[in-house]
Structure 1
Amino acid sequence: MFRFSLFVMLVLLSSCRQQVEKKPTETRPPEVAEKDTKGSVGQEVQKLKSFEGLADTTFVRLADFSDDFVYDIRYATENNFLKAKVYDCAECYTRVKTAKALIKANKEFISKGYRIKFFDCYRPNSVQYKMWQLVPNPQYVANPVKGSIHNKGGAVDITLVDMQGNELDMGTDFDFFGKKAHHEFTELPDEVLQNRKLLKETMEKHGFWAIRTEWWHYNLSAGSNDKVANFKWPCPN
């Protein structure tokens, strides 16, 4: 009897020891989404695209290749000299070669504490016809039969903003058609002249050229020989 009781006690002690020494069950933490592909609530964040494999004349949406720009596409609103909305929705498309040059120019502006803000980019030729119907004056609107460099994807209308998004003073608003908007007009505060000089010299350094009468307008030198296009960008449903 004594031996049986001793045997039972030994068995019980062994069982208790095994439970004490047994490691706790490991629980794996929930998978953490990659920072560059998921948002904080699990929503997909679109990665920036690469120009690799794209011809220089391909039309691209600039925001897909850089998130360092600011946009105020005026012709998608009534806040323009036409007083009419002529774009179905606000987008900034250019040819690949124009986009590459803009990104390089913007990197230099960023190093100085500024960024490019767009008022207009590529413009379908059908929109040029709409504008011509509203204002059939070649002094303000290019004749759509010939088209403009905007219709070729090689022209942009821009200004500069600081890193908080405040526009630099350029002396006039976009689409101000008067001598005050001309590059040679110098009866302006020194700050305005310096801002225009910064914009012009930097853009010219990266392959763009200005037109005499509009401080905001820049053409890519390598884009002037492209064909007038009527590519239309998709709008959100």
Structure 2
Amino acid sequence: MKIRTFLFFLSLYVFALAQTKPIQKPVVINSYTQYRASVKANPDNELIEIKKAIPDVRLDIRYATRNNFMKQVMYKQARAFARKPVVEALKKIQKELKLKGFGLKIFDGYRPYAITVAFYQKASDKNFVANPAKGSKHNRGCAVDLTIVNLKTGKDITMATPYDSFLPAAAANYEPVSNEVRKNRQFLINVMKKHKMNVLENEWWHYDYSGWQGYQLMDIPFEKL
């Protein structure tokens, strides 16, 4: 009996230790000089401001406001960046959408690594935030959170949940949903996939660029870009 009691309390101790174990930080570029050197070596590494490259794209940078799951301002500037090939893909997508009366609305692009750490520490559901031990594709400048806007009405097309929802219905293949939501969701998935942008399974708004593995994690603040 004593042995069982000892093992029980030992397991509790090990569990508690695991919870307080510091995050193992991966290799992250946090020097602007190092970043510029990487761009010189490969122009595709450049983080381009999406709004400057695509002037008619709409921005709704929630993390520059308190209107986000953190309930606090995370970005000092309401800007969105992505690696050069990602922005080129978004240009093509925007052009294709405009022919059909739609346009892109960007919620988030490149995200400094320090922000990912803050998200992970505070988020109640870790399934909706990246583990800093591996970093996020947002940290690589290869992920974009977005939706589609109807250009006539100026309103977002209907989806199952709002942006950044932690509900199960936020999943890209969640059922049941209305025919309108299913049609809108698939329309977005199809047009993005056509240009090498793939939806994240549990977030209908999150798209990763095919080839993200070739880009390093970054922790350069917007103000330096």
Q: TM-score range by the shorter chain?
A: 0.7 to 0.9
What is the CA-CA distance between 1:142 and the residue it aligns to? 1.0
What is the CA-CA distance between 1:196 and the residue it aligns to? 0.5
Structure 2 residue 147 is the aligned partner of structure 1 residue 159: yes
Q: Partner of 1:89 in structure 2? A: 77
Deviations 1:18-38 (A, max 9, x none): xxxxxxxxxxxxxxxxxxxxx
User: Which deviates more, 178-187 or 92-101?
Assistant: 178-187
Q: Partner of 1:72 in structure 2? A: 60
Report the AA paired with residue 104 of structure 1: K
Q: Partner of 1:173 in structure 2? A: 162
Which residue among 48, 68, 71 is the counterpart of 1:60? 48
Which residue among 207, 217, 220 is the counterpart of 2:209? 220
What is the CA-CA distance between 1:136 and the residue it aligns to? 6.9
Give me the TM-score of the superposition, normalised by structure 1. 0.73
Deviations 1:43-102 (A, max 9, x none): xxxxxxxxxxx8111111111111120010111111111222111111001111110011
Q: Partner of 1:131 in structure 2? A: 119
Comparing both chains, which one has the higher relative contact order based on Cα–Cα distances under 8 Å and sequence gaps of 6 or more?
Answer: 2
Q: Where do residues 142-157 of structure 1 align in structure 2 (5 Å cutoff)?
A: 142-157=130-145
Q: Partner of 1:24 in structure 2? A: none
Which residue among 188, 196, 199 is the counterpart of 2:185? 196
Two-structure CA RMSD over aligned residues (Å): 1.8
Matched-pair contact (CA < 8 Å) for 1:86–1:131: no
Report the AA paired with residue 200 of structure 1: I
Give me the TM-score of the superposition, normalised by structure 2. 0.77
Matched-pair contact (CA < 8 Å) for 1:115–1:162: yes
Of Structure 1 and Structure 2, the greater helix share is in 2
Deviations 1:124-158 (A, max 9, x none): 01111222232275312212232100000000010
Q: Distance in 1 between matches of 2:158 and 2:112?
A: 30
Identity %: 35
Matched-pair contact (CA < 8 Å) for 1:98–1:223: no
Pick the structure with greater CA Rg.
1
Deviations 1:161-202 (A, max 9, x none): 011421100121001122211122231111111110110000
Q: Runs of 5+ in structure 1 lacking a partner?
A: 1-53
Which residue among 105, 114, 118 is the counterpart of 2:93? 105
Q: Distance in 1 between matches of 2:62 and 2:169?
A: 20
Report the AA paired with residue 177 of structure 1: F
Q: Distance in 1 between matches of 2:52 and 2:104?
A: 16
Q: Runs of 5+ in structure 2 lacking a partner?
A: 1-41
Q: Distance in 2 between matches of 1:69 and 1:156?
A: 13
Q: Partner of 1:44 in structure 2? A: none
Q: How many residues align?
A: 183
